[in-house]
Amino acid sequence: MDFQLTEEQLMLRDTCRQLAENDLKPKAAEYDRTHEFPWEHVKKLGELGIMGIVYPEEYNGAGMDYVSYAIAVEEISRGCASTGVIVSAHNSLCLSPIYYFGSEDIKKRILSRLTTGEWIGCFGITEPNAGSDAAGTTATAELKNGKWVLNGTKNFITNGGVASVAVVTAVTQKGIGSKGLSFFLIEKGTPGFSVGKVEDKLGICASSTTELVFDNCEIPEGNILGKQGDGFKIAMHTLDGGRVGIAAQALGIAQAALDEALAYAKERKQFGKSISSFQAIQWMLADMATEIEAARLLVYQAANYMNTGDRQRYSKYCAMAKLFASEMSHRVTHKAIQIFGGYGYCREYPVERFYRDARITEIYEGTSEIQRLVIANNLLKD
Ligand code: CAA
């Protein structure tokens, strides 16, 4: 495999890196503290085409490839991890099922406004009692007089409080497990659709994580994505590819932690010398850099398989990339705090935020345990 980036990918990386350095990074700590949604970041990313990066130009997308997408999410997350997940959940989880399974009318009317960042999207499969067990959904949808009527609650929904469009699973036939689920699109403002509890989180504090509540919410019959009964497979299709976005987010957080730790190690003096002259510190830096490079190669490889459309391959490689990058990010941010010592534990420096932000990447879009399950299932099928 050729890991050389194209001219276009290098240009995109430089653009995103500059934006992250000049616009996202200086505001990230403040957004983390206030838990305010970073609208200004999203607006700029919309102008650059990042809010619809892999979708065709006919729907106002940027028509780029998945390696470009991974590069963009890594660079954005290096500046602000909350913005990284906003971009990832929007692109991978909301736009993808609309693009692959929505009607032409939905794509023209709705996808075209999501790709520009004018609208933000969210994806809801998780429920209070259906997390890793995605088929354990209890929200229902019933067809009555030519309308789907939705009832139930989704929770832990990234972008939930700011989304103009939600795509969710609901049971359309009870008692047959995953085959009884269907996938629906709901627009904000539809009577019976509201945002519930807003979560107060450990990290990625500027991203909106909420409940979505459906109370006799009527939507047009055409708002089903795919066919009735296809909901679970659409959710799996979406997550299979979406995980590369979270892997790239974890990678960006780790790279930011290494950048800070390296600079601090050179400047901090103890025992009359810069701490970077001590082997104990050098070994930590060396391990951090090596693990980051390994994760980056896995992320590029997974994104490359997504470009080929080879589902079985990318399902396994996206899970591997997410598993390794998220656990790597945990180890790297842990070491970054260690290098900063007491200062690393205080909010004055950014590494404690990186540590908090990295933690969720081992949980959302499938826990590390679920990634291992997906990888093992694929290995046993090969
Ligand atoms: N693609 C297509 N079909 C698939 C599939 C896939 N990846 N995985 C399973 N299926 C099919 C199976 O072939 C099977 O079909 P048949 O009955 O026709 O053979 C059917 O689906 C059921 O399969 P399983 O019995 O294997 O399903 P399961 O109930 O054991 O679940 C699972 C499998 C992998 C554990 C799945 O439930 C899963 O991925 N769980 C994790 C959910 C998750 O990632 N949640 C994150 C929420 S989103 C989020 O976090 C967003 C955010 O905030 C950023």
- Tens digits of per-residue pLDDT, 309-357? 988 789 999 999 999 999 999 999 999 999 999 999 999 999 999 999 9
Find out whether 107 and 344 touch, Cβ atoms under 8 Å.
Answer: no
- The stretch 13-42 carries a mean pLDDT of 98
pLDDT in the model for residue 117: 97
Q: Best mutation site among 85, 101, 227, 232 for ligand 1, i.e. most ligand atoms within 8 A of its Cβ?
A: 232
Per-residue confidence band for 3, with pLDDT thresholds at 50, 70 and 90: confident
Comparing 64-73, 204-213, 373-382, the range with the smallest average pLDDT is 373-382
**Domain identity same for 83 and 131:** no
In a domain, 132, yes or no: yes
Domain end among 98, 114, 130? 114
Q: What is the pLDDT of residue 320?
A: 98
Output the pLDDT for position 313. 86
Percent of the chain exceeding pLDDT 90 equals 97
Closest of 296, 314, 295 to residue 305, by C-alpha: 314
Structure tokens at 343: 């200062």
Concerning whether 365 is annotated as a catalytic residue, the answer is yes
* pLDDT 10s digits, 221-253: 999 999 999 999 999 999 998 999 999 999 999
* Nearest Cα to Cα of residue 250 among 289, 301, 295: 295
Does one domain contain both 173 and 193? yes
* Sign of CA pseudo-dihedral 333, 334, 339, 340: positive
pLDDT level of residue 161 (50, 70, 90 thresholds)? very high
Share of the chain above pLDDT 70, in %: 100
In a domain, 245, yes or no: yes
Per the structure, how many domains does the chain have? Answer: 3
Angle made by CA atoms 18, 12, 298, in degrees to the nearest 5: 105
Distance between Cα 134 and ligand 1 center (Å): 6
Last residue of a domain, one of 212, 231, 250: 231
CA distances from 177 to 125, 242, 243 (A): 14, 23, 24
Residue 325 shares a structural domain with residue 352: yes
1 domain-assigned: no
Decide if 35 is inside a domain: yes
Does residue 158 lie in a domain region?
Answer: yes
Are residues 371 and 253 both part of a single domain? yes
- Residue 184 in contact with residue 241, Cβ under 8 Å? no
**Mean pLDDT across the chain:** 97
**18-24: average pLDDT:** 98
The pLDDT, as a whole number, for residue 302 is 97
Rounded to whole angstroms, what are the CA distances from 65 to 158, 259, 311? 24, 27, 16
In a domain, 2, yes or no: no
Residue that finishes a domain, picked among 54, 89, 114: 114
Give yes or no: residues 100 and 68 share one domain.
Answer: yes
Task: Count the helices and strands in the chain (H runs, E runs).
Answer: 13, 10
Flag whether pLDDT at 1 surpasses 70. no
Looking at residue 291, its pLDDT comes to 98
Do 32 and 163 share a domain, yes or no? no
Mean predicted confidence (pLDDT) in 296-320: 94
Q: Give yes or no: residues 216 and 282 share one domain.
A: no
Domain membership flag for residue 255: yes
Same domain, residue pair 129 and 215: yes
Query: Would you say residue 139 has pLDDT above 90?
Result: yes
Pair 103, 128 in one domain: no
Task: Name which residue sits closest to atom 7 of ligand 1, judged by CA.
Answer: 236
Domain harbouring 64, CATH code: 1.10.540.10
Indicate whether 255 and 366 sit together in one domain: yes
Q: Are residues 157 and 173 in the same domain?
A: yes
Residue 250 belongs to what domain range? 239-381
Q: In the predicted model, is pLDDT for residue 382 greater than 80? A: no
- Which residues touch 127 (CB under 8 Å, ≥6 apart)? 136, 137, 138, 139, 152, 153, 154, 155
Asked if residue 133 belongs to a domain, the reply is yes
Please check whether residues 202 and 270 belong to one and the same domain.
no
Ligand 1 pocket (Cβ < 6 Å) reads 85, 89, 93, 123, 125-126, 132-135, 158, 178, 232-233, 236-237, 239-240, 315, 364-366, 370, 373-374
